[in-house]
Structure 1
């Protein structure tokens, strides 16, 4: 288990909203992104993924993968900051045709302009402060500029918080589901889709 604090730890009592922003990630953010990914999965997904899978997550390995992603693409990574702290991140990019295909595996008519939100995480202690919405809205603007017309994301069916978040921004399940092998335990995911015309409330 990772320690609860970092070199720039969040305060025990969170302050009022201050200097919240979203910016493109840099390789220097990779360690914090990996820490947030591992800690958030270990906290929020403990009922969805096997204990040994969660315990085996390696922050150093994840950080190296994020550095490669930022250097090589095709995904673009954004981080949310509040004051000096990185509190969440989002990885987006053009969707592979297989990700946007219909349930019968036929390509979507608009496959060439579909974007994939591959990961959107906010560290739980920084939740309910608007960071996820800012991340998605900023990423959506970037994707529109790149010619994308709608977005998709895969969400664990039993993760009510994530499904609810996407519903609140207007993204709805489109009827396509998939089941992944999560360390010997099936993980059922639903695909949500919606507009990239998102604005901050």
Structure 2
């Protein structure tokens, strides 16, 4: 295996991140969102969105690479209050110390090589450097592979769910939580 590493993204990485998002969403979400909706993912729009996300001051975007290939990405930052709130809408006592893994994606052909673990560990390290101690993320209830990944990292469902309208139906997501003191291979 070529050298694998994680590094902060730069605006010039927006093209590769958009490519990975389009490819991965088509592989994972066609049944849920429909081929037409995914075909409409405009490359220029996605690239612009990713360039803005990379430059956003309250989040960090990390890239996983293997050799000269960009293979995945992760977006992390302090959890907005609406993401950290309980199902009843109240904030937990540690809301100010909670980070959000907003997205963690590895291109399917590069899966099972440790990239997701390195991305999560790097994001957790960055969140801890900001004084945060707990992380949360949302995962589709039907995405058993991603749920298993987070469980192996020590994160567990905490009882909060949300339902998103996909235009073709609904997507039920569960919120997982865990410590940012991770012991994953980087």
Note the alpha carbon deviations across 1:30-77, whole angstroms, 9 max, x for none.
Answer: 000000011100001223322222221122211101111122332110
Alignment match, 2:84: 100
Name the CA distance, whole Å, in 1 between partners of 2:113 and 2:142. 23
Name the CA distance, whole Å, in 1 between partners of 2:131 and 2:32. 35
CA contact (8 A) 1:50 1:185 kept: no
Alignment of 1:61-76 (within 5 A): 61-76=45-60
**Structure 2 residues without counterparts, runs of 5 or longer:** none
Alignment match, 1:150: 134
SS in 2 for 1:21: strand
**Structure 1 residues without counterparts, runs of 5 or longer:** 1-16
* Cα distance, 1:117 vs structure 2: 0.5
Name the CA distance, whole Å, in 1 between partners of 2:130 and 2:147. 26
Alignment of 1:70-149 (within 5 A): 70-149=54-133
Aligned length: 185
Q: Which has the higher helix share?
A: 2
TM-score with structure 2 setting the length: 0.96
Alignment match, 2:149: 165
* Cα distance, 1:168 vs structure 2: 0.7
TM-score with structure 1 setting the length: 0.89
* Cα distance, 1:143 vs structure 2: 0.5
Name the CA distance, whole Å, in 2 between partners of 1:45 and 1:161. 14
* Cα distance, 1:90 vs structure 2: 0.2
SS in 2 for 1:129: coil
Alignment match, 1:179: 163
- 1:39 paired to 2:23: yes
Note the alpha carbon deviations across 1:80-123, whole angstroms, 9 max, x for none.
Answer: 00000100000000100110111111111111111000000000
CA contact (8 A) 2:85 2:92 kept: yes
Name the CA distance, whole Å, in 1 between partners of 2:90 and 2:146. 27
CA contact (8 A) 1:22 1:78 kept: yes
